[in-house]
Amino acid sequence: MMKKYIVLISMTILLWGCTIPADYNDNLVREQTKTLDLISNLNASLNKNDLKKAHAIWSEAIKQAKESANKVKQMSPFREETGLRDAMANLLEFYQLTLIKDYRTIFEIKKSALAEEEKNAKIKSILDQIRKKEAVLIESFREQEVSFASEYDIQLVSLGI
């Protein structure tokens, strides 16, 4: 009877420890999505000038970006492959730094006595810079993702992000 339990436990550990390539990729993207959802909510609150709500979401987004970056960095390589994981870690660290630095500036602008047109122009400029930097990191991740998918024969599904 004891052997039966040991075999079942061993099989559970073996199956739990084995990750298929698509799951590995999905886990990385899932961490990105957690942060992007909060950033989207943050931007919506900022657009509505709901600074109290935006500030609460901002704090949560910083925390989530840090947790996701750390979680991704601690993931084991997939069969010695680190490019995909590292590209996502770089992207998540970018989100974290952007939230800390750039969004702090956006909050300062929103609270300033500047004319609304001037506030919007400054914020647009910051967001444009963020998008340019993000595009480079996203492209790096996508290149790694396509290579990973080709290597492990998985099909990527684009969600239009």
Instruction: Give the pLDDT score at 44.
Output: 97
What is the per-residue DSSP string for 63-80?
HHHHHHHHHHHHSPPBTT
Residue found by looking up tokens 């420890």 in the block: 17
Going by the DSSP 8-state scheme, the letter that residue 156 receives in this structure is: -
Instruction: Give the pLDDT score at 40.
Output: 98
Instruction: Give the pLDDT score at 155.
Output: 85
Q: What is the mean pLDDT of each run of 10 residues along the chain (161 residues)?
A: 42 48 94 98 97 98 98 94 96 98 98 96 98 97 94 78 48
Tokens at 99, concatenated:
């939230």
Instruction: Give the pLDDT score at 8.
Output: 39
Instruction: Give the pLDDT score at 6.
Output: 41
CA-CA-CA-CA torsion sign (54, 98, 70, 22): positive
Q: Which residues pair with 78 in a beta bridge?
A: 81
